[in-house]
Copies of this chain bind each other. A is one copy, B any other.
Amino acid sequence: MISVDARRLLDRIRDLGAIGRDGEGRLVRLAASDADRQGRDRFVGWLREAGLEVAIDRMGNIFGIWRTPGNAGQAPILIGSHIDTVIDAGIYDGCYGVLAGLEAIETLKASGFVLSRPLAVAAFTNEEGVRYSPDMMGSLVHAGGVAIDEALAAVGTDGSVLGQELASIGYAGDEQPGFLKPHTYLELHIEQGPVLEREGVPIGAVENLQGISWQRITIDGVANHAGTTPMSMRSDAGHAAARVVAFLHDRAKASNTPTVATVGTMRFEPNAINVIPSRAVFTIDLRDPFEHRLQAEEAALAAHLEELAAAEGVTISVERLARFEPVIFDSRIVELIEAAAISRGLVSKRMTSGAGHDAQMMARIAPAAMIFVPSAGGISHNPREYTEDTELVAGANILLDVVTRLAT
């Protein structure tokens, strides 16, 4: 059994994490920014040092490919993730998966193994979606979900145009998106949730990815004096909103399923201490790994809103903000992940990804799965994001093992 070069992997994670620090020391490598260029340049440098073929497509997606004369005609096994970050990010989200992919390929390349398929590592453009919308854009384009010209025309929060920015940082490549057709797609990622850490499990075999339903709810009542309006004569939009929050929480908590429901934003109008709220605006984030359950949750919410409107004398309007169906990963690959963990003497756990990842896009065009490692406290998108070195190395070795099984 071969293993990755732990020191090289950990050093690269820290090296890349030092690139793109702003004046306050925050890690900010927004997609197609100058900081992103610096990160990309470092990654491409490592690809070349490893002797990989570097290809960049029009979307700015970067590929490092290892082909041998014996397998050049076969579809490659692709390992991917992203190296763009949110504002004030941690150093692991995305970067860990990309650098572990490179590490696995370098390790195999040095091993002398004869592989039946090429291996490739990808860093997809704009996974975070902070500067340009939607998120997971690079893998979405690769999978044919959005036309390249439409994606390149995306206007950023700073008014910039993605295509122009990619050209200006030197990463508007020549390859047509989707040029590389993977045989299999693998993604290694920190969990960004608390489950593995709390349960003391080092490896997550990710068998599916939750569907997401985002809605914005606006409740309109009547603003009235808090002192002079009897309880029975109120149309209190704030109270109605509170009922929805409690309903969603109770239902999800009692469901005995992985359904999660979150009201993350809330705004009252006029927002005065002695005025009954005339309006409450809030968002609902519903997730479930199974489409039929997600639909059932949406239907239950809609029925609740209808009853509430009648009971509280308010009007309720619903705006759909986003909707993604759940993704079921390839069961054969998930089994390979479990088998690899057993071989390494590591406990693994089948689990659902609660966050979105490039793998969900790539699953449209190839058998795909993900490997998770623990996130301390479940914290991500934050400088406190942390995974133990031994856990990072263990995850990379599982990735190596699965790639080896798939390619030999």
By a beta-carbon cutoff of 8 Å, the part of chain A in contact with chain B is: 191-195, 198, 210, 212, 214, 224-233, 236, 238-239, 241-243, 245-246, 249, 252-253, 258-268, 271-277, 280, 283, 285, 287, 321, 353-356, 378-381
With A239-B249, A268-B265 known as contacts, the answer to whether A192 contacts B225 (CB < 8 A) is yes
A225–B265 Cα gap in the complex (Å)?
A: 13
Closest to A215 in B: B273
Q: A258 contacts which chain B residues (CB < 8 A)? A: 230
The 8 closest A-B pairs by CB, nearest first: A193-B228, A227-B354, A228-B354, A242-B245, A226-B262, A242-B242, A273-B283, A231-B253
Q: A242 contacts which chain B residues (CB < 8 A)? A: 241-243, 245-246, 249, 263
Q: A227 contacts which chain B residues (CB < 8 A)? A: 193, 210, 212, 260, 285, 287, 353-356
With A193-B228, A227-B212 known as contacts, the answer to whether A264 contacts B274 (CB < 8 A) is yes
A227–B227 Cα gap in the complex (Å)?
A: 40
Copies of this chain present in the complex amount to 2
A271 engages B260 (CB within 8 Å): no
Q: A273 contacts which chain B residues (CB < 8 A)? A: 214, 264-265, 283, 285, 321
Partner among B195, B241, B245, B381 whose Cβ is within 8 Å of the Cβ of A230: B195
Closest to A209 in B: B227
A362 to chain B, nearest CB (A): 19
A272 engages B265 (CB within 8 Å): yes
19 inter-chain pairs at a CB distance below 8 angstroms, sorted by A residue, are A194-B230, A195-B233, A214-B273, A225-B378, A226-B264, A226-B287, A227-B353, A231-B249, A231-B260, A238-B245, A238-B264, A239-B263, A242-B245, A242-B246, A246-B246, A264-B271, A264-B272, A266-B280, A274-B285
